[in-house]
């Protein structure tokens, strides 16, 4: 039986800060009780810190009568073309400039930034940029439009990417399936060719991903559904393990774009409207192809 119940999804907050107009990626800090978020394409190179109630955190020593004037933490030596997701591991933030709607970009990559205390720092500098390329894309635009990406996550000190597929030449027409890639090199002066790890024929329209704090589970957010995969036993073929799902009522979650974990049992989902939802993994049902 497929799960489809608004009762399984609890709205817990709404981000109303005027500068967060189109929230895309989200990841939980490993140091503070905050979550790092950013806007979708077309914004400045900046990130914001929010708490579980959706309140934007600003440096404590800034004197302002209107916190809504806060423009976020600027990331210097970075450019925001199409930031789609953010990941975190061992105190390092990874921001994926990996949006590729037309499957023609040749400048995809990831900004690497040391996580900082948002209550004490106004801006940060990108340590470096890791250019990436898909091993199975030979043409720009691609012949098969399977090289857009809106989801990154970390697992065992590695960075992973999940693709979002379209019909060739059709920005708004989708195809089923996703592919999982891994970053194995860290060149800054040439492309890092990703390693193709896995694929799933039913997961489609992927917009976010994150591993649980204990790395026992992988949450993958799509427009129609939340997927949770168990940790692989001997490799990183995440898409072959036990799978649970929750169908997402579109009237409630709208265009959901970001996913992270509040704990090893609870998942947070955000949408472009700034709404924050919570789901407990016990409410998901087993997936049967």
CA dist 231 → 46, 164, 264, 270 (Å):
32, 22, 13, 24
Give phi and psi for 237, each to the nearest 5.
Answer: -80, 70
Q: Are 226 and 185 in contact (CB under 8 A)?
A: no
Q: Where are the domains of the chain?
A: 6-286
pLDDT tens for the chain, 289 residues long, are: 334 466 799 999 999 999 999 999 999 998 889 999 999 998 999 999 999 999 999 998 887 767 788 999 999 999 999 999 999 999 999 999 999 999 999 999 999 999 999 999 999 999 999 999 999 999 999 999 999 999 999 999 999 999 999 999 999 999 999 999 999 999 999 999 999 999 999 999 999 999 999 999 999 999 999 999 999 999 999 999 999 999 999 999 999 999 999 999 999 999 999 999 999 999 999 998 8
pTM of structure: 0.96
Residue 5: predicted pLDDT? 60
Q: What pLDDT is attached to residue 1?
A: 33
| Alpha helix positions (H), the chain | 250-253
Beta pairing, strands 123-125 & 128-133: unpaired
Cross-strand partners of 128: 112
Q: Which CATH number fits domain 6-286: 1.25.40, 1.10.3470, 2.120.10, 2.60.40?
A: 2.120.10
pLDDT of residue 4: 44
Alpha-carbon gap, residue 128 to 151, rounded angstroms = 20
- Is 226 in contact with 236 (CB distance < 8 Å)? no
Report d(CA 20, CA 71) in Å as an integer.
9
């Amino acid at each position: 039986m497929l799960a489809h119940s608004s009762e399984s999804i609890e709205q817990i907050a709404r981000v109303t800060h005027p500068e967060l107009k189109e929230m895309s990626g989200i990841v939980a800090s490993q140091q503070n009780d905050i979550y790092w978020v950013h806007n979708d394409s077309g914004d400045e190179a900046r990130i914001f810190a929010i708490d579980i109630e959706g309140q934007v955190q600003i440096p404590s020593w800034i004197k302002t009568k209107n916190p809504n004037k806060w423009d976020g933490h600027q990331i210097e030596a970075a450019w925001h073309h199409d930031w789609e997701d953010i990941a975190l591991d061992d105190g390092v933030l990874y921001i994926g400039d990996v949006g590729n709607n037309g499957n023609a970009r040749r400048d995809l990559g990831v900004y690497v930034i040391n996580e900082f205390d948002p209550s004490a720092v106004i801006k940060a500098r990108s340590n470096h940029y890791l250019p990436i390329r898909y091993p199975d894309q030979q043409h720009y635009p691609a012949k098969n439009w399977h090289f857009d990406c809106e989801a990154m996550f970390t697992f065992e000190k590695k960075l992973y990417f999940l693709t979002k597929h379209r019909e060739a030449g059709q920005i708004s027409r989708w195809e089923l399936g996703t592919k999982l890639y891994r970053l194995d090199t860290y060149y800054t002066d040439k492309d890092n060719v990703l390693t193709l790890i896995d694929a799933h024929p039913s997961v489609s329209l992927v917009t976010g991903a994150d591993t649980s704090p204990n790395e026992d589970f992988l949450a993958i957010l799509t427009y129609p559904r939340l997927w949770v995969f168990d940790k692989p036993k001997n490799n990183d073929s995440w898409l072959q393990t036990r799978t649970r799902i929750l169908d997402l009522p579109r009237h409630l979650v709208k265009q959901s774009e970001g996913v992270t974990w509040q704990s090893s049992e609870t998942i947070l989902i955000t949408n472009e409207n700034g709404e924050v939802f919570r789901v407990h993994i016990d409410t998901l049902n087993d997936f049967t192809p």
